[in-house]
Amino acid sequence: MNDSDEAAFLKAYDPEAFPRPSLAVDVALVTAHEARLKVLMLQREAQPFRGRWSLPGGFVALDESLDDAARRVLRDKGGLDGVYLEQLYTFGAPDRDPRTRVISVAYFALVDHARLVAAVESSSDRSAEPIAVASLDVPWPDEVPPAGAGPIALRRDDGEALPIAFDHADVLAVLVQRLRGKLDYAALGFQLLPDRFTLRQLQDVHEVVLARPLNKDSFRRRVLASGLVAATGERETDVVHRPAELYRFVRPSGV
Amino acid sequence: MNDSDEAAFLKAYDPEAFPRPSLAVDVALVTAHEARLKVLMLQREAQPFRGRWSLPGGFVALDESLDDAARRVLRDKGGLDGVYLEQLYTFGAPDRDPRTRVISVAYFALVDHARLVAAVESSSDRSAEPIAVASLDVPWPDEVPPAGAGPIALRRDDGEALPIAFDHADVLAVLVQRLRGKLDYAALGFQLLPDRFTLRQLQDVHEVVLARPLNKDSFRRRVLASGLVAATGERETDVVHRPAELYRFVRPSGV
DNA sequence: ATAATAGTGTCTCTCAGACACTATACC
DNA sequence: GGTATAGTGTCTGAGAGACACTATTAT
């Protein structure tokens, strides 16, 4: 390739030559608590879908990468930094936003429940936008929804169902599939727990995500054999029974 | 939500209010042949990256879904219709295209080798754009590349290495990870074979994708037990040894 | 002591890998 | 018959599920 050719070409290039839709990122901030998967949702105060609940999102700036945009959304709307973040899927149906063509690159972030609650509280101080941590009602048991499975529903702690804006129910459906599919093969479960956790807590998280009970013995064996956890020598406190050992997540070598 | 409110809002909405990058789809058209994974590549005749090889791609029209755009690219540049197509990942580094900000939603398509060769030949009649079906040199053995693994390289049948345009080496790296990860859990292998195939051919495909030998007996057992294949009663012909039974892919029930 | 959960030892069942053997085509 | 690959029967070892048992804390 000839560099001066390329420089001349770039000078003459017209960036308006192709149609350009708007580009947004939406972030599902996920946690697990009390046998439920939960996500942070915001109630829309503007049209479209005013009054319905949407994932936090934002438009991508021209000089920022998609990952950076997702991290910015997480920081601005969730008050969280340094959490596990992964690109999920890109949604681009022409009519998914009635305003104009908007393509949304969906991300998901995983955080332990206590940290999410703290972040939501400090975030509510800064902004009046209604915020909720809603439970997912997943109407199918396996990784992949069978044909004809209904959409995912959201329910607040007080029991009220939250109507979902845009195609965000589809985003949540893909999210649940990704979580269930990757949980055993990647270090996702740990991301939903605090730094120190018991194996029982980790099993609870897995059971919440997979929506089925797991065998205690074989779960312990598998986790300990994976080499992804290390005993700390500490034990939990303030429990009414024999306290369990606390473990911590060990990043797999070379990654 | 109030419908007339929403209608009034839409009328007043200014679609120029947010920066809008260009949006493209790129499609990796994949096949397996002679113990190699292969992809269709085009040699760029324009800047940028003139002379280097890129995945077929195109900009997304404002009234077309992402999937439709990918199918259009497949039809226009590869001459193929009705093949397996799946969204892979979205690439959005600010400098990935030196012209302007271009976000690329990458797809991959799977097709059997004979069909790809036929499509390439008829496509070469229509267009003078240099086209190649290049072998992937994957420099890591497992599903996920270890830290410090080199980039994927492309090699033509005549042995010549093809320099890669844009960030398409990254696209190919994610592609290989997806293929290796999903091969056992989803019906991907069949998509790389013609309608009728022998179990040996299917095993060859799996070995090519995973880049490691598989146990014949247990592979046969697993495939037959999966219920995804059905014997046709026919046998292969023109082989110098005992002909194997031909099987066909049976779509999993309910999908 | 009792209650409750943590954690371990062991048996069984399933399944992948390995090997050996038989079957069947063309030469 | 020779050769090459298809296809099957059987053993073995690894690992998950199931169950029973011991351990350890608070009350």
Percent of chain B with pLDDT over 70: 90
Report which of B229, B235, B234 is spatially closest to residue B248, judged by C-alpha positions.
Answer: B229
Q: What is the DSSP letter of B127?
A: -
Q: Are strands A53-54 and B84-91 parallel, antiparallel or unpaired?
A: unpaired
- Write a three-state SS string for A76-87: HHHCCCCCEEEE
What does residue A3 show for φ and ψ, rounded to 5 degrees? -65, -40
Q: Give the pLDDT confidence score for residue B184 in this predicted structure.
A: 84
pLDDT single digits (tens) B137-158: 999 988 899 988 999 999 999 9
Query: Are A172 and A181 within 8 A, CB to CB?
Result: no
- B151 in contact with A, Cβ within 8 Å: no
Q: Measuring from the CA of residue B218 to each C1', which nucleotide is nearest? A: C16
> A10 and B51: CB-CB below 8 Å?
no
pLDDT single digits (tens) B14-51: 445 567 889 999 999 999 998 899 999 999 998 899 99
Report which of A64, A88, A93 is spatially closest to residue A76, judged by C-alpha positions.
Answer: A64
CA distance A165 to chain B (A): 11
d(CA A112, CA A249): 13
Percent of chain A with pLDDT over 90: 73
Residue B238's pLDDT band (boundaries 50, 70, 90)? confident
Q: Give the pLDDT confidence score for residue A240 in this predicted structure.
A: 86
Average pLDDT in the A133-156 region?
Answer: 93
Q: Write out which nucleotides of chain D lie closer than 7 A to a protein Cβ.
A: 3-10, 15-20, 23-27
pLDDT single digits (tens) A15-64: 455 678 899 999 999 999 988 999 999 999 988 999 999 999 999 998 99
d(CA A110, CA A82): 10
DSSP code per residue over B8-27: HHHHH--TTSS---EEEEEE
CA distance A217 to chain B (A): 25
Q: By 3-state DSSP, what share of chain B in percent is helix, strand and coil, each rounded to 5? A: 30, 25, 40
d(CA B74, CA B26): 9
Helix (H, G, I), strand (E, B) or coil at B161: strand
d(CA B117, CA B190): 18
CA distance B57 to chain A (A): 13
B216 touches strand D (CB under 7 A): yes
What does residue A41 show for φ and ψ, rounded to 5 degrees? -130, 150
How crowded is residue A48: how many other Cβ atoms within 10 Å of its Cβ?
Answer: 17
What does residue A103 show for φ and ψ, rounded to 5 degrees? -95, 135
- Does A5 have pLDDT greater than 70? no
Report which of B41, B26, B54 is spatially closest to residue B164, judged by C-alpha positions.
Answer: B54
Our CA angle for A122, A126, A127, nearest 5°, is 115
- A52 in contact with B, Cβ within 8 Å: yes
Q: Write out which nucleotides of chain C lie closer than 7 A to a protein Cβ.
A: 3-10, 15-20, 23-27
- Does A13 have pLDDT greater than 50? no
Q: Measuring from the CA of residue B231 to each C1', which nucleotide is nearest? A: D7
Amino acid at B16: E
Q: What is the DSSP letter of B240?
A: S
Helix (H, G, I), strand (E, B) or coil at B95: coil
Residue A12's pLDDT band (boundaries 50, 70, 90)? very low
